[in-house]
Amino acid sequence: MRRYSRIRGTGSFLPPRRLTNAELAAELAQRGVETSDEWIVERTGIRARHFAAPEVTSSDLAFEACQRALEAAGVGAADIDLIIVATSTPDMVFPSTACILQHRLAQSSEAARGILGCPAFDVQAVCSGFVYALTVADAMIQSGAAQRALVVGAEVFSRILDFNDRTTCVLFGDGAGAVVLEASDTPGILASDLHADGRHVGILCVPGNVAGGQVLGDPLLKMDGQAVFKLAVGVLEKSAHAALAKAGRTEADIDWLIPHQANLRIMQSTARKLKLPLDKLVVTVDQHGNTSAASIPLALDVAVRSGKVRAGDTLMLEGVGGGFTWGAVLLDL
């Protein structure tokens, strides 16, 4: 019998500090940076984002999201035998945020100590990170290498924003989302389609690095927004169609499109190209901004907990971002 993987529970966490566009614009004005709620809403659909307190790390946000996902799945940390964290804002250069998360989870109760020893690693594919991580976890579960995985997207993008650059600092936020993915006789994940084109490294990057005891180069996010926009609208449609073809399904089978939450215009354009009515599009970018690898699992969890997305629904998840990377995962919930 073929072995599949299936999402058993979802969870998410947003740091409590929420800034509306007007509040962010007022803070930026004090630096002489001019923006407005009107511009941000019109160009992106974003109305608010959450920023973590200075001492809060990606693993802190991931820990909260995982606790919620474990509770929703009705399993304990000790039942997990694989941890994959998608992040571009890791706690440290190394070890991985996944290892730090494993330690935090193990400390949460005596019973949770059973999570120690399982493989734990990070996936770095920027805003496509969650679809990459889900695909890796699915492959490991299908092969029998794992039985039940925590797959997480967690980011503190506020740490790498240049608050003097209005073209980027109004777009991003912090947060985390997680799923418990487990082996199943029935799908589950139906198909994945992943891509990267390294020619476009420069259009979305944090070019700095750590060397010789110093940060070398610029450790803040740079983006050519228009170049990213143009690439994103093209590849998202292609990747969704590729995933549908691999699964032998059609656009009409999609109950919900849950794309990376970066820009409402990109998301709506993808929905239109897939001939989906806009009410089949899950939108959280208005409340969360762009949380990079966290955006898809955050949107999924919000949609599940609101009762919008239900067990048995067919979901198209789609990521796109720095690398340039992109991909889609089609699944039955």
The contact set with ligand UT7 (CB under 6 A) reads: 35, 39, 43-44, 127, 166-167, 170, 204, 225-226, 228-229, 232, 262-263, 266, 290, 320-321
Distance in angstroms (rounded) separating the CA atoms of residues 223 and 326: 16
Catalytic hit among 99, 118, 127, 169: 127
Residue whose Cβ sits closest to ligand UT7: 225
Minimum gap (Å) between residue 107 Cβ and ligand UT7: 33
Q: Say how many C-beta atoms besides its own lie within 10 A of residue 107's C-beta.
A: 14
Angle at 156 between CA 152 and CA 158, to 5 degrees: 155
The rounded distance, in Å, linking the Cα atoms of 271 and 303 is 17
Q: Which is nearer to ligand UT7, 90 or 259 (CB)?
A: 259
The total of other beta-carbon atoms located within 10 Å of residue 307's CB is 7
Tokens coding 228:
């990213």
Which residues, in sequence order, are bridge partners of residue 330? 191, 316
Catalytic annotation present for 205: no
Half-sphere exposure of 134 (CA within 13 A, CB side): 34
Closest C-alpha among 12, 19, 26 to residue 47: 19
Nearest distance, CB of residue 289 and ligand UT7, angstroms: 10
Pairing relationship of beta strands 214-216 and 222-223 according to DSSP bridges: unpaired
**Minimum gap (Å) between residue 270 Cβ and ligand UT7:** 11
Nearer to ligand UT7, 9 or 322 (CB): 322
Integer Cα distance of 136 and 72 in angstroms: 22
Q: Which is nearer to ligand UT7, 42 or 218 (by Cβ)?
A: 42
Active site residue 290: yes
Least distance between ligand UT7 and beta carbon 229 (Å): 4
Q: Which of 66, 99, 169, 290 is catalytic?
A: 290
* Catalytic-role residue among 66, 118, 169, 260: 260
3-class DSSP assignment, residue 159: helix
Looking at beta carbons only, is 67 or 158 nearer to ligand UT7?
A: 158
CB nearer to ligand UT7: give 219 or 225: 225
Burial class (CB within 10 angstroms; exposed 0-12, middle 13-18, buried 19+) of 229: middle
Q: Is 21 a catalytic residue?
A: no
Q: Hey, which residues are catalytic here?
A: 127, 260, 290
